[in-house]
Amino acid sequence: MRILNTAATGVRAQQTALDILGNNMSNVNTPGYKAQRVNFAEALAAELRPAEREFNEQPVGERIDVGAGVIYPTIDTDYRQGIIRDTENPFDLAIDGEGFFPVRTANGEGRYTRVGNFQLDSQGKLVNSDGYILEVKIPTDAMDLYVDETGNITGFIGEEERVLGRVVVNDPEGEGYPVGPIDMDEFGRPLDWNGDILPTAFAVPEGAEDVQISTEGVLSATIDGSRQTLGQINIVTFANPEGLVRDGDNLYFAPDAAGVTGDELVGTPGSQVEERTLGKLRTQSLEGSNVNLASAMTEMIQVQRAYQLNARMITNGDQMWSMANSLRR
The arrangement of strands across the sheet holding 160-167 comes to 180-181, 142-147, 152-157, 160-167, 200-201
More confident residue, 49 or 315: 315
pLDDT digits (tens, 9 = 90+) for 264-288: 888 889 999 888 899 999 999 999 9
Residue 69 burial (10 A CB sphere; 0-12, 13-18, 19+):
buried
Measure the CA–CA gap between 149 and 151, rounded to whole angstroms: 6
DSSP state of 146: E
- Using a pLDDT cut of 70, give the percent of the chain over it: 88
pLDDT over 60 at 213, yes or no: yes
Q: Using 50, 70 and 90 to split pLDDT, how confident is the model at 172?
A: very low
Least confident interval from 70-74, 89-93, 104-108, 258-262: 258-262
Residues 6+ apart with CB under 8 A from 297: 25
Cα separation, 129 vs 131, whole angstroms: 6
pTM of full prediction above 0.75? yes
